[in-house]
Amino acid sequence: MQQEIGQQLIIGIKGLQLEKDEADFIVRNNIGGVVLFARNVESPDQIRQLVIDLQALRNRMPDKAPLFVSIDMEGGRVHRLKPPFTKWPALNNIGKIDSTSVAFRFAQAMGDELKAVGINLDYAPCLDVFTNSQNTVIGDRAVATSAEAVARLGSALVRGYIKSGIIPCAKHFPGHGNTLIDSHLDLPIEEKSLEELDAVEFEPFKKAIRARLDLIMVAHIKYSKIDSEWPASLSEIFLRKILRDQLRYRGLVITDDLDMGALKNNYPKPVIAVRALQAGCNILLYCNETDSPPTAIEAITKAVAEKQLDGNIVKDNYRRVLELKKTKLIEPEPAPLDQISLVVGHPDHLRLAKAIAAGAVPADLIQQAT
């Protein structure tokens, strides 16, 4: 059971190199993947070597499955990679241009650079509809203020990432565009009805799902008129009844970081891990606190043994994670160094980023492929 549980966790690591205790933990617990932050990325060469070291661990693991190597790369404020990687503008620049071709090319080019160094999962695009101008958490991370524009351009972004060969993860379901409270700090509470959400916030996710999206990130927001007890990330109503039954989503669901203040200030860590799986999450994300993944594994193991958590949920999640890896992580190794230098910071990418920021993109940049 521990082998199955571990495959459902994506965890943070400490620095630029993989430490022995981290490698041992990943192997011993069959961990599904890692998430990279600024502390983990310095240069294309360093990232490439880190990914090689991470992917080599699978040879010591029971499934021999590639690891998810994930990152938060949206453009703008959420931009982990430094030059020579292309510096991409914020998504609202895509909305101002209002071109699905530009959106597709933006995501494809960004994804090409990630794929070259071995990053295979990006927590992007942000599909939040920016409906509250006071919302500084989302702000220019949103494509637009209308559901129709976010849906149309967001779908193109999803397709661009898929074209590049990485897995996009659309976020933050059911919608973070109207909140004032930062869920990193505390739990936002919204009063929108299901009908209101369906008319606005759900629209981009509906269209992204039709674009064959494999992964959705669920937000730590409580919609009290829909589920008065649990935030969306821990809510069976949102994850099973709405996302699965109503929106007919068949891909995987990953939590936002489970150590964010919205949850850890309100629930014990063991409760969070177990409840997320009960509610319908398939992958648990732990970004920064090193004690959280072992605490989660222990809590889930205990909950299954004591029949508080249906063991079939764990088995089904395990199967689905491995199936996604089998179909989408076919070539998990990074490219050779000489090839990386031809992709990362490609002149067309630099021109494209500059043109998007300026608000006018020449046709040749949209049509060209790296």
SS (H, E, C) 160-171: HHHHHCCEEEEE
Number of C-beta neighbours around residue 196 at 10 A? 17
Q: Which residue among 122, 140, 227, 256 is the active-site one?
A: 256
Residues, the chain = 370
Q: Is 71 helix (H, G, I), strand (E, B) or coil?
A: strand
Residue 9 DSSP SS3: strand
Output helix, strand, coil percentages for the chain, rounded to the nearest 5. Answer: 50, 10, 40
List the structure tokens of 106: 């933006």
Domain count, the chain: 1
Instruction: Tell me, yes or no, whether 138 lies in a domain.
Output: yes
The pLDDT, as a whole number, for residue 370 is 37
Contacts of 263 (CB under 8 A, 6+ apart): 187, 220, 231, 233, 234, 272
Strands (E), the chain: 9-12, 33-36, 68-71, 73-75, 78-79, 121-122, 167-173, 189-190, 215-218, 222-223, 252-255, 284-286
184 is catalytic: yes
98 phi and psi angles, rounded to 5 deg: 60, 50
Domain that holds residue 15: 2-364
Please report the sign of the dihedral spanned by the C-alpha atoms of residue 237, residue 239, residue 245, residue 248. positive
- Give me the pLDDT at residue 220, please: 97
Query: Using alpha carbons only, what angle is made at residue 207 by residues 205 and 213, rounded to the nearest 5 degrees?
Result: 70
Do residues 63 and 78 make contact, with C-beta atoms less than 8 angstroms apart?
A: no
Omega before residue 332 within 30° of 0, cis: no
Cross-strand bridge partners of residue 35: 12, 70
Q: What pLDDT was estimated at residue 135?
A: 79
- Is 318 domain-assigned? yes
| Neighbour-count burial for 69-85, b at 16+ CB within 10 Å, e otherwise | bbbbbbbbebbbbeeeb
Element (H, E) at 242: none
Catalytic member of 184, 245, 291, 310: 184
Residue 215 pLDDT = 98
Structure tokens at 103: 């959106």
Per-residue pLDDT of the chain (370 residues; tens, 9 = 90+): 889 999 999 999 999 999 999 999 999 999 999 999 999 999 999 999 999 999 999 999 999 999 999 999 999 999 999 999 999 999 999 999 999 999 999 999 999 999 999 999 999 999 999 998 887 788 899 999 999 999 999 999 999 999 999 999 999 999 988 887 778 888 999 999 999 999 999 999 999 999 999 999 999 999 999 999 999 999 999 999 999 999 999 999 999 999 999 999 999 999 999 999 999 999 999 999 999 999 999 999 999 999 999 999 999 999 999 999 999 999 999 999 999 999 999 999 999 999 999 999 998 888 754 3
* CATH code for the domain in which residue 149 is found: 3.20.20.300
82 in a domain, yes or no?
yes
Report the C-alpha gap between 240 and 28 in whole angstroms.
31
Residue 369, in any domain of the structure: no
In this structure, is residue 370 part of a structural domain?
A: no
132 within some domain: yes
**With contact defined as beta carbons under 8 Å apart, do 114 and 71 qualify?**
yes
